[in-house]
Amino acid sequence: MADERFPEIQGGGSLILAWQVRNKKVLVVGGGEVAAGRILNLLNADAKVVLISPRDGLNPEVAHRIERGQVTYHDKLFEPSDLDDPAITMVMTAVDDPEASTRIWKLCKEKRIAANIADVPPECDFYFGSVHRDGPLQIMVSTNGNGPKMANIVRRRIAATLPPNIGEAIAKVGALRKKLRVLAPGDEQGPKRMKWMSKVCVQWSLEDLCEMEDVDMNELLQGYVPDQVPSLSQVRSGEEPGVWQFDGSYGWSCVI
């Protein structure tokens, strides 16, 4: 019997993660239009891309990446020895030869390397979704292989409802969090830091967050110790009672 206190299990989904591939080597096999999209996603994630594809099959965008030195390029067909590099953490194939793709998939399984074989869901350890990007904000919509075009439609509809300055606001929040970690380091401060930052995100509008400058962040951080979140106007005026001001030392002082 189902317990209404807990959510029901909905099988058939994927575990959607933000995979950190910064400075990690990723092998891409194929140089067509699909490969161009894969390469762009990887470069946006600061991965080290190694590309294997005959030059006569290169997409113009892929050729551009090669000319700019944005990828490490090998003008040849894939060989099993290309997987011998222990630094390879991921493989993506985008070729028109199903048999060759399956061979690469099997080799990756033998070497326990995560792989994505384009347009062959059963031979994928992970999928790509339709992604909306605005600065640090990334939103992915996945249909788990049921309808890629529908994922694109849903993603566009979601993006249309977002404020145009949401990415900038998130970037400012990220800068504030970094400052907070400097002023209140230590794992024991973790729960309080999270709770205080949550208050800031709830109490400040997106417009306020976008407008927040470095000096405003320093003033706002004075409310951390007393667990207060003054408004942007209070931060800038310094005239409201209860506004905390940093006295320039490693401690805190309260101006009444």
Q: How far apart are CA 200 and CA 48, in angstroms?
A: 36
Cite the DSSP H helix spans in 184-251: 190-203, 206-211, 214-220, 232-237
The encoded tokens of residue 216 equal: 């405003």
- The kind and range of the H/E element at 37 are helix 33-44
Q: Is 84 labeled as catalytic in the residue annotation?
A: no
Structure tokens at 105: 């998939």
* Distance from C-alpha of 249 to C-alpha of 247, rounded to nearest angstrom: 6
Q: Which residue in the list 85, 97, 119, 208 is annotated as catalytic?
A: 119
Residues 158, 161, 164, 170, CA torsion sign: negative
HEC string for 157-194: HHHHHCCCCHHHHHHHHHHHHHHHHHHCCCHHHHHHHH
Residues with catalytic annotation?
Answer: 119
